[in-house]
Amino acid sequence: MASDLTTPLTPHLRKIRGSSQLMVKGKPFLMLPVELHNSTFSSAAYMERVWPEMKAIHANTILAPVTWEMIEPTEGTFDFSELDKCVLGARKHGLHLVLLWFGAYKNTLSSYAPIWVKTDIDRFPRIHIKNKEGTLKTLEAVQPHCKEAWKADARAFANLMRHIKRLDEDHSTILMVQVQNEIGVMGDSRDRSRIADELIQKPVPADLWAYLQTNKSTLHAEFRKRFSDALGNPATSPTWIEAFGPGPFADDLFMADAFSRYIQAVTAAGRAEYDIPYYVNVALCSEDPSWLDVESIPDEVPAGDVPGQYPSGGPVGHNLDIYQHNAPDIAFWAPDIYLQDYELVCECYRHNDRPLFIPEQRRDEYGARRIWVAYGNYQALGCSPFGIDTLDPETSPTKKHFKLLRSIKDYILDAHANRPDDIMGFFFDEDAEMTSKSKTQWVKSFGDFLVTVKRASVFGIPSSAAGIIIRQPNGRFLIAGFGVQINFASTDPDSTLTSVHSVKEMEVDESGALRCARVLNGDETIHGSCVIMPSEDPDYGGFPIPSSIPGRTMIAECVPYSIKEAQSHF
């Protein structure tokens, strides 16, 4: 780590093995974030009831919008008064913020642009699409090729970040900023305006074409799978259609180039004022049916299998390299996971070792279980359920998971930075939620031991489960979670027995450190054969022998061992 004189104290990303780690005031920080509904943060008075509720569910970071129409209602005149009160409210309650810049684009539309942008169609022309009947339709969305929109959005964003630096540089209440929200075009594969029709007939920008050809072997797998012919194209200056063929997916790349250059113009202006991490969130597509985690998608949900059914031109997997090339001031691209396979999406967005951050996901128990995989297996900066502020904090599924994660966050951060191969997250769904893709076990090699995690055996119906296991430098294993049993097998082929020497239930003391609460053995470890992390209410199935105990602290430390016997021992 750099010396105190050279280490920035403002929030920043520090490179670690295979990823990056968020640093806040010079120390690693694990976000336990939640995102508010779109309108909640517009009122500091309204937020006064929200702050305590977010603390109650053990969140430490709030994702909240700041909108263009809010701060620049009249062109050139900025009003940060309500934002300031909200930031000070977060600071008072000991919470951090990730601000979401709803500038020209929010869910593909310009609904948060100020009225002076919306009504000046000569200066800020709209995107046009063809509907199912083939007639042109005007969208409430500014054209991404419009340089006047670039300039106006960038100027507003620069003013915002200049103000935030003055307000927060010495406090680090604000950790990161999201630039726009779920950009792209819905209802068609591209903008059909006159300028877009002209530009798609022109050559692919030379810098982008050279980048794609030079980096063929390291481009995203989704791009290489879909556009393999383009990577063998010998042309030096092809048009978009010549390079990628006619059809909606060439349109998708064309729009990705436009949106990513727009994003870069806005982000560069803000970063020049205040250098903290910036990212872009993503409404995902479902072009590969195996990625879906639901049986069907309603027509109105932007997650289909062709551009326009999902936001065309957004940073979906096959567009990521265009964004990474065109928008170097963006630190990472962050998937919103609601309908897709959680692990596949996590893997997709670790492309080129970019850090994983999930700014939106399901807020139910089904979603909460999955965050353990993101934190445990993909070095996630944070996983944020959306719309958390309309749930009862006492019954919110997030509460239990964040409380447990908060108890072991320092161990997770240490493993992320120093031993990313010594940590594994896992989850199991309820019986009724299991599918053919559901795992029945999680297996990982930790040096001398092969670890297998299964659902805890009970006489009745096994519960859902989730958690994490971390091998410590001293050879001990720290486990946090519920509803599982963990078996160890020696990786030495000559081993004749592997068992568990010591299992301690751990609890958090007054200082926040872990201490031994009690020593577990007998029924609680099936006589030393495994570690059981029981659920809060194990199902005895009516059996009269209560050999399972309810989970209490949900944290344990164990020491496995193995022996080798000579033939003379038998």
Q: What is the pLDDT of residue 2?
A: 42
Same domain, 408 and 464: no
| Region of residue 420 (left: phi > 0; alpha: psi -120 to 50; beta: else) | alpha
Q: What is the pLDDT of residue 460?
A: 74
Token pair 């910036």 is at which residue?
278
Average the pLDDT over 68-75 and give the result.
Answer: 98
Same domain, 351 and 496: no
Same domain, 98 and 193: yes
373, with CB counted inside 10 A (0-12, 13-18, 19+), is: buried
- 98 strand-pairing partners: 63, 176
pLDDT range class, residue 336, cuts 50, 70, 90: very high
Q: What is the pLDDT of residue 230?
A: 87
- For 437-479, give the secondary structure using H, E and C: CCCCCEEEEECCEEEEEEECCCCCCCCCEEEEEEECCCCCEEE
Same domain, 506 and 482: yes
Token pair 């750099």 is at which residue?
2
Residue 2 maps to a domain: no
**Pairwise CA distance, residues 128 & 146, whole Å:** 13
- 233 strand-pairing partners: none
Question: Hey, what amino acid is at 17?
Answer: R
Handedness of CA 81, 82, 83, 84 (dihedral sign): positive
Residue 6 maps to a domain: no
Average the pLDDT over 333-360 and give the result.
Answer: 96
pLDDT range class, residue 134, cuts 50, 70, 90: confident
Domain of residue 279, residue span: 12-418
Same domain, 274 and 217: yes
Same domain, 396 and 454: no
Average the pLDDT over 458-478 and give the result.
Answer: 90
Q: What is the pLDDT of residue 549?
A: 74
**Is pLDDT above 50 for 175?**
yes
**Is pLDDT above 50 for 101?**
yes
pLDDT range class, residue 294, cuts 50, 70, 90: low
Grouping H, G, I as helix, E, B as strand and the rest as coil, residue 561 is strand
| Among 344, 392, 338, residue whose Cα is nearest residue 362 | 338
Residue 1 maps to a domain: no
Same domain, 175 and 314: yes
Q: What is the pLDDT of residue 550?
A: 75
Q: Are strands 174-181 and 96-106 parallel, antiparallel or unpaired?
A: parallel
| Among 108, 255, 273, 105, residue whose Cα is nearest residue 190 | 255
- Write the pLDDT tens digit of every residue in 373-393: 999 999 999 999 999 999 999
Contact 366, 28 (CB under 8 A): no
Average the pLDDT over 6-21 and give the result.
Answer: 90
Average the pLDDT over 503-530 and give the result.
Answer: 89
Question: Hey, what amino acid is at 498?
Answer: T
Helices vs strands, H then E, count in the chain: 16, 23
User: Of 389, 418, 447, which one is at a domain's C-terminal end?
Assistant: 418
Which structure tokens are listed for 445? 């090699």
Q: Which of 16-30, 187-201, 278-292, 308-322 has the lowest mean pLDDT?
A: 278-292
Same domain, 331 and 458: no
Q: What is the pLDDT of residue 300?
A: 60
Residue 502 maps to a domain: yes
Residue 5 maps to a domain: no
**Pairwise CA distance, residues 73 & 89, whole Å:** 23
Handedness of CA 321, 323, 328, 333 (dihedral sign): negative
**Pairwise CA distance, residues 380 & 412, whole Å:** 10
Any idea what the CATH number is for the domain that residue 563 is in?
Answer: 2.60.220.20
| Among 96, 44, 38, residue whose Cα is nearest residue 65 | 38
Same domain, 233 and 186: yes
Average the pLDDT over 446-475 and give the result.
Answer: 91
User: Of 370, 401, 418, which one is at a domain's C-terminal end?
Assistant: 418
Count structural domains, the chain. 2
Cα–Cα distances (Å) from 378 to 164, 208, 311, 445, in that order, read 31, 29, 26, 16
Average the pLDDT over 398-410 and give the result.
Answer: 97
Grouping H, G, I as helix, E, B as strand and the rest as coil, residue 358 is strand
Grouping H, G, I as helix, E, B as strand and the rest as coil, residue 268 is helix
Same domain, 47 and 144: yes
Average the pLDDT over 293-303 and give the result.
Answer: 61
Any idea what the CATH number is for the domain that residue 385 is in?
Answer: 3.20.20.80
Residue 378 maps to a domain: yes
**Pairwise CA distance, residues 352 & 349, whole Å:** 9
Same domain, 173 and 47: yes
Residue 530 maps to a domain: yes
Which structure tokens are listed for 1? 């780590």
Q: What is the pLDDT of residue 362?
A: 97
Contact 58, 403 (CB under 8 A): yes
Q: Which of 86-100, 274-288, 546-560 has the lowest mean pLDDT?
A: 546-560
What rounded mean pLDDT belongs to the chain?
93
**Pairwise CA distance, residues 420 & 413, whole Å:** 9
DSSP states along 111-171: TTS-HHHHT-TTTSPEEEEE-TTS-EEEEEEE-TT-HHHHHHHHHHHHHHHHHHHHHHTTT
Q: What is the pLDDT of residue 1?
A: 39
Q: What is the pLDDT of residue 7?
A: 63
**Is pLDDT above 60 for 505?**
yes
Q: Strands (DSSP E) along 362-462, which ranges?
A: 382-385, 423-428, 442-446, 449-455
Same domain, 214 and 91: yes
- Write the pLDDT tens digit of every residue in 216-252: 999 999 999 999 988 888 888 999 999 999 999 999 9
User: Of 364, 397, 418, which one is at a domain's C-terminal end?
Assistant: 418
CB count within 10 Å of CB 174 equals 26
